[in-house]
Structure 1
Amino acid sequence: MTGIGPRLREERERLELTQREFGQVGGVEPNAQGKYENGERSPRADYLAAVSTIGVDVLYVVLGRRTPLAEQALSGGEEKVLETYRILPTSGQAALSNLANSMAEMAANYSTRPRVQRKPLAGKN
């Protein structure tokens, strides 16, 4: 997906809204919303400001880059990890990133794996 239209559609679908509902938020008719998503027209700044109020990532819609998470939204533990990551050399950052990805994969696999019921050992209660 490239361009404003497809990214705008992606954000609308992410928010699970119809073109009519999304257009109402932006102050436009459903046909205008469709034209924005098809790339036939470009949305105005006031429209983008209005849809941002429901969680649309306007930076992503316009430039194709997700808005970075504000540091104020981080927990204390997350801040510490980020601080540590930032002071590491590039090789350390890569290693930490690989470790985090591996741990996330293991956690996802572990949570979906069926649990094995163990039998008690003979003579043990």
Structure 2
Amino acid sequence: MDGFGERLRRLRKDCDITQSQLAEVIGVVPSAIGKYERIPQAFPSVEALIKIADYFNVSIDYLLRGTQTVPAVENNISGQLTNSPFIQANHGGVVINGEQSISPEAMELLHIYEQLSGRERLKLLNFAVELEEGTK
């Protein structure tokens, strides 16, 4: 099964950019890109992961797990959100996800997540992925 490094290498090669060029885009040293591509346990910071996903127009879920479950949200000129089944709105402190409001427990998790550093967020994301895979 392909891991993060192999997906990153394939995306980079498909776009015909070097490790140095990608490193400049996401703000890391070129050797970091090589490390991500070669070492299965090597992952960028959350901020760099977001920049990689944005650059290649893929989801973080695709980068980490190989599945593109939700299309990217794109803003059009009028500021409307398009191309997304997942749109959130905040109405009087209640966050809406489609037709459902987000539970207080989920909101508490979001507040905790906001307090974490980039590495801690990535660890939490990896842990959540492991939990989810354990339920399949």
TM-score, normalising length: structure 1: 0.50
Residue correspondence of structure 1 range 17-96 to structure 2 within 5 A: 17-39=17-39, 41-57=42-58, 58-69=60-71, 72-73=82-83
Output the aligned Cα RMSD: 2.4
Q: Percent identity?
A: 33
Indicate the structure (1 or 2) with the bigger Cα radius of gyration.
1
Structure with the bigger percentage of helix: 1
The alpha-carbon distance between structure 1 residues 59 and 25, as it changes in their structure 2 partners (threshold 3 A), is: same
The alpha-carbon distance between structure 1 residues 15 and 59, as it changes in their structure 2 partners (threshold 3 A), is: farther
Structure with the bigger percentage of strand: 2
List 4+ stretches of structure 1 deviating above 4 A: none
Aligned to 1:97: none
Whether contact under 8 Å (1:11, 1:56) holds in the other structure is: no
| Count of aligned pairs between the two proteins | 74
Aligned to 1:3: 3
TM-score, normalising length: structure 2: 0.46
Aligned to 1:108: none
Structure 2 SS opposite 1:61: helix
Once the two structures are superposed, what CA deviation does each residue of 1:37-88 show, in whole Å capped at 9, x if it has no partner? 1125211111111122322423211111124446944xxxxxxxxxxxxxxx
Q: Return 5+ residue gaps in structure 2 as ranges.
A: 74-81, 84-136
